[in-house]
Amino acid sequence: MGLIKNILFCVFCLFLSAPQAADLDDLFDIQKLSKHLKATQTQKETLSTHISKLREIIGGYQLTRAKKLCEATLWQGHIPRIKTLRSLRKTTLDSVDATIDALKKEAHFNEKQTKNLDKILKGNDNILDYPIAKHPYYHVLNSPVIKDFLREKHAYRITLPSQPTPNNTWTYAQLLETWTARGFIPTMRPIDDLQHAPDIASSPDLQTRVLPQAERSRLVKSPLLISATLLVPDLGKAEFDLLKNNYAPDSVDVTTWDEYVSQNQMNDMIQVRLKLNTPFNEKYLDLNRWIIFLEDADGVGYEPRQVKARAFYPLEAVEVSVPGREIEVTDVFGQYFSPIPGEKERFYLEAPSRMTYVGNEKLLQLYFPGRDFQGHPIVDEKTKFLKLIVQSQETDFGRSELIWRIEKPQHKVRPPKG
């Protein structure tokens, strides 16, 4: 027993002493990069100059792209063309490559140093996405690449319609993240998915069970991905201030807060901004195919009184890693892959893969009634949650429920990071 402990301890020590692979964090940290490359003092000065230039190039790209894609300007009708975004990315990558080539040349790296630098850069196609630039812009991504495609958001207590919170300290990005819920239309109903769960093998000595699909697998097959932003007064005011302070006057339709309130009907209506996208035929974005309504905590449903189509455009292609579909097999009597009765093994029905996700996206503004027939706000301090329901009008697709929970006052809700 003591020998085993000693062996494990030695393995652990070897793991700690082994050189760790460098990544983009090391590239943009001069001290770490110099240590990793074992740079001389002269080389450190060259590294500092060129890495600073690299940060400037990438930061400028991120700022320009974020400003073009910001939600505030999208809903003003300014949709950047994919060709423009691709050109911006290509131009920036060319500048990055030129800067790295100049670094290698002027630093006079030896063969080993060059090889180590290339290892850091190899496979880092996302170098332009490494967070460098700090900015006030925010883009609601409605894509399968999102790790947690949340359908329920914990926001804060509010009355609608109402006025913005005085002296609000939450940023535009924090408010958008808080008030945006995501969902998707599944390709099958929950009851259909359960029908795949029981054993499907007829053999008495092997039992099989198809395991539930990973969320991302269901996302890439969904006919409709949905993001819904509830335009509350705090968010509206932050968006107006962002437009007024960061965009040219001729790119904004309104010049005063009162005009913005009127444009968005914030005194009378509850506005939900929808982003719908599909990898299939664009007809899936036709609202005639879907039933959409808002439901309060009492189960009262409200249909939109007005719908405004703001934009329709193709999506940028993204690479998506898709998990495989697995089946669990139980060797009941221990006759096949294990001598132990009841042993379980997993096998792939569908292997993991990578795919290019492309499609189209549509922006819609849905206006729901803000007051009941007595003139009272539909959403008040007693409202516990709001639910947006989207379901197919033509097929047996499952339905999607996007929920905003609003039980707590704002001072008891922690704003998102960023």
Per-residue pLDDT of the chain (418 residues; tens, 9 = 90+): 454 445 444 433 433 333 445 678 888 999 999 998 999 999 999 999 999 999 999 999 999 999 999 999 999 999 999 999 999 999 999 999 999 999 999 999 999 999 999 888 885 568 999 999 999 999 999 988 887 777 789 999 999 999 999 989 999 999 999 999 999 998 865 545 444 444 444 567 878 787 777 888 889 989 999 999 999 999 999 999 999 999 988 788 888 999 999 999 999 999 999 999 999 999 999 999 999 999 988 899 999 999 999 999 999 888 888 888 888 888 888 877 778 888 888 887 788 889 899 999 999 999 999 988 888 899 999 999 999 999 998 877 888 999 999 999 999 999 998 6
pLDDT score, position 188:
64
Phi, psi (degrees; rounded to nearest 5) at 294:
-100, 135
pLDDT score, position 8:
42
Q: Smallest Cα–Cα separation from 62: which of 96, 38, 14? A: 96
Length of the chain, in residues: 418
pLDDT score, position 417:
82
pLDDT score, position 150:
73
The amino acid at residue 185 is I
Cα-to-chain-centroid distance, residue 115: 35
Rg, Å, the chain Cα set: 27
For the four alpha carbons of 258, 260, 264 and 266, in that order, the dihedral sign comes to: negative
pLDDT one-digit tens code per residue, 118-163: 888 885 568 999 999 999 999 999 988 887 777 789 999 999 999 9
pLDDT score, position 301:
92
- Tell me the H-state helices in 108-136: 111-121
Contact 324, 352 (CB under 8 A): yes
- Tell me the H-state helices in 141-265: 172-178, 190-194, 215-221, 233-246, 257-263
Q: Give pTM, 2 decimals.
A: 0.83
Q: How far apart are CA 270 and CA 180, in angstroms?
A: 14
Phi, psi (degrees; rounded to nearest 5) at 184:
-150, 155
Contacts of 329 (CB under 8 A, 6+ apart): 206, 207, 208, 337, 344, 345, 346, 347
Q: How far apart are CA 397 and CA 190, in angstroms?
A: 10
Q: How far apart are CA 130 and CA 156, in angstroms?
A: 32
pLDDT score, position 25:
87
Contact 153, 407 (CB under 8 A): no
First to last CA, the chain: 50
Contacts of 194 (CB under 8 A, 6+ apart): none
- DSSP code, position 384: -
In a 13 Å sphere around the CA of 118, the CA atoms on its Cβ side amount to: 9
Q: Smallest Cα–Cα separation from 102: which of 45, 50, 37, 39? A: 50
